A and B are shown apart, each in its own frame.
Chain A
Amino acid sequence: MPAVSKGDGMRGLAVFISDIRNCKSKEAEIKRINKELANIRSKFKGDKALDGYSKKKYVCKLLFIFLLGHDIDFGHMEAVNLLSSNRYTEKQIGYLFISVLVNSNSELIRLINNAIKNDLASRNPTFMGLALHCIANVGSREMAEAFAGEIPKILVAGDTMDSVKQSAALCLLRLYRTSPDLVPMGDWTSRVVHLLNDQHLGVVTAATSLITTLAQKNPEEFKTSVSLAVSRLSRIVTSASTDLQDYTYYFVPAPWLSVKLLRLLQCYPPPEDPAVRGRLTECLETILNKAQEPPKSKKVQHSNAKNAVLFEAISLIIHHDSEPNLLVRACNQLGQFLQHRETNLRYLALESMCTLASSEFSHEAVKTHIETVINALKTERDVSVRQRAVDLLYAMCDRSNAQQIVAEMLNYLETADYSIREEIVLKVAILAEKYAVDYTWYVDTILNLIRIAGDYVSEEVWYRVIQIVINRDDVQGYAAKTVFEALQAPACHENLVKVGGYILGEFGNLIAGDPRSSPLIQFNLLHSKFHLCSVPTRALLLSTYIKFVNLFPEIKTTIQDVLRSDSQLKNADVELQQRAVEYLRLSTIASTDILATVLEEMPPFPERESSILAKLKKKKGPSTVTDLEETKKERSADMNGGTEPAPVNASAVSTPSPSADLLGLGTGPPPNAAPAPASSGSLLVDVFSEPASAVTQLAPGSQENFASPDLASSELVSEEPSEAARGADELTHKFVCKNNGVLFENQLLQIGLKSEFRQNLGRMFIFYGNKTSTQFLTFTPTLICSDELQSNLNLQTKPVDPTVDGGAQVQQVVNIECISDFTEAPVLNIQFRYGGTFQNVSVKLPITLNKFFQPTEMASQDFFQRWKQLSNPQQEVQNIFKAKHPMDPEITKAKIIGFGSALLEEVDPNPANFVGAGIIHTRTAQIGCLLRLEPNLQAQMYRLTLRTSKETVSQRLCELLSEQF
């Protein structure tokens, strides 16, 4: 039993409490409580009317049971009955029950409000006090609706007692906090402000709380409170410690009121009135001075109260941020506290300095304490103090000390409490980004973060490092190298695998030149981590693999094998399965061009506020709703760039059918179809934009024509060769006058030629070069000749090795024998597999009839004699055509020699004309050939005439040579 029981103790209650305390077990306690509840219920329901005392006692027991943590579902009515009792003690218990166990039952609220109304009107200050307390304790909207209009009247009424004024002020404050819309502003506001001048310090204290809250929302309305607050504060700080009697707390005059006044002043900018401003500055200086005075008491209460005022004053100085002198003094004062033996003061000094660090006047002053703060980080035994030290280091960080601070924070992170690791990680990440001069330092720092505290590295952090690496090409190679090295660790955090996977997928090529980090090694390294990772990371790695297919065609098959394995293609996770299926299909079906487009390097991310900063903002402390909204938006905006760091261009990922169409995977022509030469585009342009290039053909003419071509009479016949044929022919034309060169080239393959001919025999060396770094498999070149060609041309060759390594070249020799003259060209068809896709290339092999030319030198006389001998119309073929190239005589000469005939000088009477002679050697016959080329510079045209002993030869040679000029 308690030693003291003032007022009327309730014996029954005391006994019950003792019983509960004596219960040995929870079960016994519940049993005892249930017994009591049954007893009370029967008493409340009993016929016999209970007297006030009993009601009070039972209600009190219910309250006790409730406070023990049990539910109470009855007794509310009895409590409400107590409210209308005339006995103070019964009323008091009734109100206590109501305030603790308020129920939103509207019937009850109405009854309660009635009782409150009566008590407020009673003019009995104690009853009024009880009623106001009840309103403040419950603070519901219903109560605000009922009393928000009434209470301001009580507050400012001249005859209201001080204690009731205090209660009314705080009651109104409570209602304003819950339902500001229901508290009407009005005449009373100016009178409330004047309560700051009240004689009674209790009234001033309560009124200051109310005014502070109201002023935050309605600064204009309460502007006059500033000068009143300053003068009140001034009177307090200059008073002797005994002046304020009971409001002096351990030799500190009115500390609560001082703190509240200083809080009120923080609702406003520095006072404009110089007198008020001067007086305030004096107050603040006095408070700072007092901190240096010897303490008036050794009691902790004295120093706490004094320092409470000091810290609030410093808050005001920081809030005003206008007096450099005060700011620096505040900083020095806090600097002293940093080394104080009281943990509480060290904590508060660190906290307060954080805000001081953001002022331009004191930032430098704060920075001088860096060593102390770092030391606090290392030596403080209390995690909440260390947390403050981290905050302060973060706040004082700038370019000059970023490296040191980040290093210290990383250091601390190794041993930091789990509860604050995430926040430290965010802060380090932000500082490293913000103050990075050298982005290699940034990359190192983030990788260190992941190494030290990978679990606490949130998505925002690793998204951010990727955004930065992608946006800065100066750091990409370094990043690739560094993640590659970091991934070597036998156990590395999954977040590192994510960052590593993404960065290598984008920039792995930058380090692929080093044999230690060749494509295959990179892939194997990443894939060795694959099975230890969660689904999202695996999904990311699959994207990396498909990116590798583009970056490193030589490991395409390896990757395809992985994608093709059951554990991928049949993965139970639908996302992984879909990726594996789509990526495999993409790699198989898409040409290198399409792959290169789809899997292109990610474009730079748009610069926006760091997502980490948004996260930290969100994490730190309460912020207004709008702020939170913004943060949310920010985050979701970042999601676009960051969430799913899809290394594949958006259109290619996931969404299956539409993307397939976009890529032309399903419907387009097989990408390996005709090796449309790269120039086909410009060719098209040529064909359509230059109708003049159409060949003019003159009807087979006579000698006269030969002597003086009448071009005016020529009739235009347009030739419309199919584009493909034309393209292919063009390639062949290139080789009509030369024997060596590149026959064909695309992104995978290059075909080079070297050939030599002698009489009717020839040998051609074909060089196949693999331009990729991936093997060609089942490499099969085939020579295709039509039946007719086969009878005229005999080609012999040996098969080549079916595997062509990346970068390698293989050679194939073709032995050629010309049996009879021919017009067609054999076709070289090459088939092979490249990275799982089938490639098929066909190209005409430039073996033309003129290759079997043997030049014949002869004099002018001989030439014309023979020319006349071949006067049979079937023996002559003539072609008149427009020049396709500049009409340079030297080039023309070289071409005629390259064509195989002899170039006969001083034969034609017209020195501008060219004549040639030679013999086409075939196994069955030798055919003499004479040719004459007459340029017409003015018309930019040529007339070519061929006379041979065989009509088909004349025809063919004329065709071939016409194309050369």
Chain B
Amino acid sequence: MRFMLLFSRQGKLRLQKWYLAMSDKERKKMVRELMQVVLARKPKMCSFLEWRDLKVVYKRYASLYFCCAIEGQDNELITLELIHRYVELLDKYFGSVCELDIIFNFEKAYFILDEFLMGGDVQDTSKKSVLKAIEQADLLQEDGKERNVQ
């Protein structure tokens, strides 16, 4: 996977994860361009499209678009389910996740994504292992807090 974007129907970027080196300027240009393409598509259309030299797989959940850019050889359907699994992870963590959760806890959204994907490849597909890792980290935070209090 080359990159993943989360953006709202209004075209507000909520999360961006890049797995390839690129200048800021180029990234901004790509985001703008791709958002335009995806937002223009109608609901019943297929979830895949060719864009530049990449394949784009996207899916809309409520007001949020999840959008992955993959390479020619990559499997579209499994990428679609990768998006779904990420949504499930967010949902499990936040408890019926909504866009606001991701806005206010953007750093958590990044942490969960990092646990799930690394360098653009899936690290672990087990919901349990990913969530366990996140909870462990949260636990460490609590520990730190307690120690802090003491």
Chain A interface residues toward B at CB < 8 A: 1-8, 14, 17, 21, 53, 60, 63-64, 67, 69, 87-90, 92-93, 96, 100, 126, 129, 132-133, 136-137, 139-140, 163, 166-167, 170-171, 173-174, 177-178, 201-202, 205-206, 209, 246-247, 249, 254-257, 259, 263, 301, 304-305, 307-308, 311-312, 343-344, 346-348, 381-382, 384-385, 387, 621-622
Contacts and interface: CB of A to CB of B under 8 A. Distances in A.
A126 B28 contact: no
Given A170-B119, A202-B123, A87 B45 contact: no
Contacts of A129: 133
Interface residues of B, number: 63
Nearest to A250: B81
B38 to A, nearest CB: 12
Between B47, B77, B101, the greatest number of chain A beta carbons within 10 A of the residue's beta carbon is seen for: B77
B119 A136 contact: yes
B124 interface: yes
Contacts of B26: none
Given A206-B124, A384-B50, A255 B45 contact: no
Given A137-B114, A166-B118, A381-B44, 14 more contacts: A6-B93, A17-B103, A89-B144, A126-B137, A133-B114, A163-B129, A166-B123, A170-B118, A205-B122, A246-B126, A254-B125, A255-B81, A382-B46, A384-B50
Interface in B85-103: 85, 93-95, 100-101, 103
Contact of A136 (B50, B81, B118, B128): B118
Interface string B104-128: 1111101100100011111111111
Contacts of A167: 118, 123
A145 to B, nearest CB: 15
Interface string B42-74: 101111111001000000000000000001110
Given A4-B95, A14-B104, A311-B77, A87 B124 contact: no
A384 B45 contact: yes
Nearest to A86: B144
Given A3-B101, A93-B107, A387-B50, A622 B81 contact: no
Given A7-B142, A174-B118, A308-B81, A344 B47 contact: yes
Contacts of A171: 118-119
A170 B125 CA distance: 14
Contacts of A1: 104
Contact of A384 (B46, B72, B100, B107): B46
A454 to B, nearest CB: 25
Contacts of B94: 2-4, 6
20 contacts: A3-B101, A17-B103, A67-B16, A92-B111, A129-B133, A136-B119, A137-B114, A166-B123, A167-B123, A202-B126, A205-B123, A209-B122, A246-B129, A256-B78, A256-B82, A304-B78, A311-B75, A312-B78, A381-B45, A621-B53
B141 interface: yes
B21 A256 contact: no
Contacts of A140: 21
B33 interface: no
A167 B114 CA distance: 10
Contacts of B106: 63-64, 67
A17 B141 contact: no
Classify the interface of chain A: helix, strand, loop or mixed: helix
A602 to B, nearest CB: 37
Contacts of A263: 73, 75
B144 A88 contact: yes
Contacts of B120: 174
B80 interface: yes
Nearest to A216: B73
Given A166-B123, A308-B77, A384-B45, A89 B21 contact: no
A305 B81 contact: yes
A311 B75 CA distance: 8
Nearest to A256: B125
A173 B81 contact: no
B119 A5 contact: no
B69 to A, nearest CB: 13
10 tightest A-B contacts by CB?
A: A174-B119, A308-B77, A88-B140, A202-B124, A308-B78, A343-B46, A170-B118, A246-B126, A136-B119, A87-B144
Contacts of A206: 118, 121-124
Given A254-B125, A308-B77, A308-B81, A2 B101 contact: yes
A348 B75 CA distance: 10
B21 A308 contact: no
A87 B19 CA distance: 27
A621 B75 contact: no
A381 B95 CA distance: 37
A96 B111 contact: yes
Contacts of B114: 133, 137
B34 interface: no
B52 to A, nearest CB: 9
Given A6-B108, A88-B141, A343-B44, A622 B125 contact: no
A174 to B, nearest CB: 3
Contacts of A305: 77-78, 81
A91 to B, nearest CB: 9
A936 to B, nearest CB: 94
Contact of B77 (A5, A93, A348): A348
B36 interface: no
B45 A382 contact: yes
B81 A249 contact: yes
Nearest to B132: A163
B128 to A, nearest CB: 5
Contact of B85 (A3, A4, A96, A249): A249
Contacts of B78: 255-256, 259, 304-305, 308, 312
Contact of B121 (A173, A201, A382, A385): A173
A344 B46 contact: yes
A4 B101 contact: yes
A304 B77 contact: yes
Nearest to B124: A202
Contacts of B76: 308, 311, 344, 348
Given A96-B107, A311-B75, A384 B49 contact: yes
B145 interface: yes
A139 B18 CA distance: 11
Nearest to B82: A256
A205 B71 CA distance: 19
Contact of B48 (A88, A132, A307, A344): A344
B95 A69 contact: no
A409 to B, nearest CB: 18
A89 B48 CA distance: 37
A178 B141 contact: no
Between B28, B44, B111, the greatest number of chain A beta carbons within 10 A of the residue's beta carbon is seen for: B111
B77 A344 contact: yes
B39 interface: no
A269 B42 CA distance: 41
Given A126-B136, A126-B140, A247 B123 contact: no
A754 B102 CA distance: 108
A152 to B, nearest CB: 15
A312 B48 CA distance: 16
A37 to B, nearest CB: 18
Contacts of A622: 53, 71-72
A303 to B, nearest CB: 9
A304 B75 CA distance: 11
Nearest to B94: A4
A887 B124 CA distance: 111
Given A384-B48, A384-B50, A89 B140 contact: yes
A93 B110 CA distance: 10
Contacts of B81: 249, 255, 301, 304-305, 308
A949 to B, nearest CB: 106
A89 B80 contact: no
Contacts of B46: 343-344, 346-347, 382, 384-385
Given A255-B81, A344-B80, A67 B13 contact: yes
